[in-house]
């Protein structure tokens, strides 16, 4: 049970969270707060509890939403200064409406990389959230505030988006669980897009169960308690090769220790080759990343006129997609579709792939904030492993590996559509690693 659902009044718990949000550790974590609306939601949840009524597992839970979801009556900034004067949203995004109907107490919107286009989580417009483990380190992005809020406990659940790792990276770097569902399983309406082909919406929280509860609400599904699968005979593939190059020694040690524990519990761990698929995907997207191509279309109307208002690093990444022709883009999508099928066949004998969520732990903000080359190199390395899940249309989760000075994540990937099974496997792995 999360703290919001114990014997203490939910309103009292809310006031504690709001006070904590005002502390230095939470600086730049939130961009907008909804204290009065949250108090009304908490009071309503308390009234339901006194009456013996529950709307489900998120009733009374403290939830934050990434700053790219529509909330009726206010502009959706998506972490950008140029969106401050955008027209107010006509209504709540479907996921926001579902959270409200489930009784969630929505605290506010969390900070993010501008337009969700970075794995490091820096934002020159709203400020840089500090990592929950050490505020001098990057929080991971693009759902930066979500990862920090979940880790600090100002949110029971933080809702983010994941286009190339933007839920799993901040989860890994802040020591919490982050779940990326299969793309399109959760409706994207009312979420400012980065890449409609790759975008997905998922939760960050301190446990697999909390993520699963939130995922059911986001997907509009009835909640059913997880039934963790036995670790014995779980088939785990390890894609050694390209995805293990340049891996930090502490990350590698933590990963191998986790594999050892799972093997000792009876899981069948074996290497699996996917480098050929990775190389073919790299060839297909060589003209520009798919996210850049689609983002260029999203921002086409203002990318030139409002260039000065962009984070220059984000503007450069979006602009790269402008050179790709329609014919090249269509071929890219067709090739990707074939590779998704080939990857699905390759993974069919396995239950999950396992690899480090990120090749490196969080780096100092000062090391990348002003050094363009260092930023680019670190950002690519941070995104490399998680991006596989989006490009090959997989579902994925990052689990925290404890006992490290800088948090490290274990990523599990499963075939598309196997979201429920992945969550049940993750619950078993979570328990086995304790």
Catalytic residues: 66, 142, 166
Sheet holding 395-401, edge to edge: 30-33, 105-110, 62-66, 157-161, 201-205, 177-180, 395-401, 408-414, 352-356, 235-238, 268-271
Distance CA(223)–CA(133), nearest Å, equals: 32
> Residues 6 or more apart from 338 whose CB is under 8 A from it?
none
Residue 205: beta bridge partners? 157, 177
Contact yes or no for 32/108 (Cβ under 8 A): yes
CA distance 370 to 38: 37
Q: Which residue has the tokens 């690093």?
A: 313
What is the secondary structure of 220-276 as a DSSP string?
Answer: T-------PPPSTT-EEEE-TTGGGTT--HHHHHHHHHHHHHHHHTT-EEEE---HH
By the 10 Å C-beta count (0-12 exposed, 13-18 middle, 19+ buried), 51 is classed as exposed
Q: How many residues does the chain have?
A: 434
d(CA 121, CA 328): 30
Instruction: Round to whole Å and give the CA distance between 159 and 217.
Output: 11
Report cis status (omega within 30 of 0) of the bond before 142: yes
Give the rounded distance of the alpha carbon of 394 from its chain centre: 14
Residue 33 in 3-state DSSP? strand
Q: Which two tokens stand for residue 375?
A: 């930023």
Q: Give the SS3 label for residue 204.
A: strand
What does the DSSP 8-state code read for residue 31?
A: E
Q: Which segments of 348-418 does DSSP mark as H helices, in order? A: 365-368, 372-391
């Amino acid at each position: 049970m999360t703290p919001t659902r114990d014997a203490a009044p939910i309103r009292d718990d809310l006031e504690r969270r709001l006070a904590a949000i005002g502390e230095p550790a939470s600086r730049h974590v939130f961009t907008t707060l909804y204290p009065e609306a949250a108090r009304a939601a908490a009071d309503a949840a308390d009234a339901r509890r006194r009456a013996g009524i529950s709307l489900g597992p998120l009733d009374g839970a403290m939830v934050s939403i990434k700053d790219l979801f529509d909330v009726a009556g206010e502009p959706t900034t998506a972490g950008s200064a140029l969106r401050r004067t955008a027209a107010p949203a006509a209504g709540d995004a479907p996921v926001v409406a579902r959270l409200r109907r489930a009784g969630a107490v929505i605290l506010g919107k969390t900070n993010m990389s501008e337009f969700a286009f970075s794995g490091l989580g820096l934002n020159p417009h709203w400020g840089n959230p500090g990592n929950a483990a050490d505020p001098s380190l990057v929080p991971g992005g693009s759902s930066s505030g979500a990862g920090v809020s979940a880790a600090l406990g100002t949110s029971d659940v933080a809702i983010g988006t994941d286009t190339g790792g933007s839920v799993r990276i901040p989860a890994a770097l802040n020591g919490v669980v982050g779940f990326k569902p299969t793309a399109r399983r959760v409706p994207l309406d009312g979420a400012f897009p980065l890449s409609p082909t790759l975008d997905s919406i998922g939760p960050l929280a301190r446990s697999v169960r909390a993520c699963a509860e939130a995922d059911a609400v986001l997907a509009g599904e009835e909640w059913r308690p997880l039934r963790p699968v036995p670790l014995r005979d779980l088939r785990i593939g390890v894609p050694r090769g390209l995805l293990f190059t340049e891996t930090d020694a502490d990350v590698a040690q933590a990963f191998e220790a986790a594999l050892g524990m799972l093997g000792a519990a009876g899981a069948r761990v074996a290497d699996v080759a996917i480098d050929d698929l990775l190389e073919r995907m790299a060839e297909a997207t060589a003209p520009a990343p798919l996210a850049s191509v689609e983002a260029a279309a999203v921002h086409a109307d203002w990318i030139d006129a409002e260039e000065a208002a962009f984070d220059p690093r984000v503007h450069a990444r979006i602009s790269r997609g402008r050179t790709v022709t329609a014919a090249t883009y269509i071929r890219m999508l067709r090739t990707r579709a074939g590779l998704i099928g080939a990857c699905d066949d390759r993974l069919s004998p396995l239950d999950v792939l396992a690899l480090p969520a990120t090749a490196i732990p969080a780096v100092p903000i000062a090391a990348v904030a002003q050094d363009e080359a260092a930023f680019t190199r670190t950002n690519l390395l941070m995104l490399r492993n998680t991006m596989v899940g989006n490009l090959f249309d997989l579902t994925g989760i990052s689990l925290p590996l404890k006992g490290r000075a800088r948090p490290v994540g274990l990523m599990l990937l499963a075939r598309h559509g196997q979201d429920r099974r992945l969550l049940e496997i993750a619950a078993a792995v979570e328990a086995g690693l304790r």
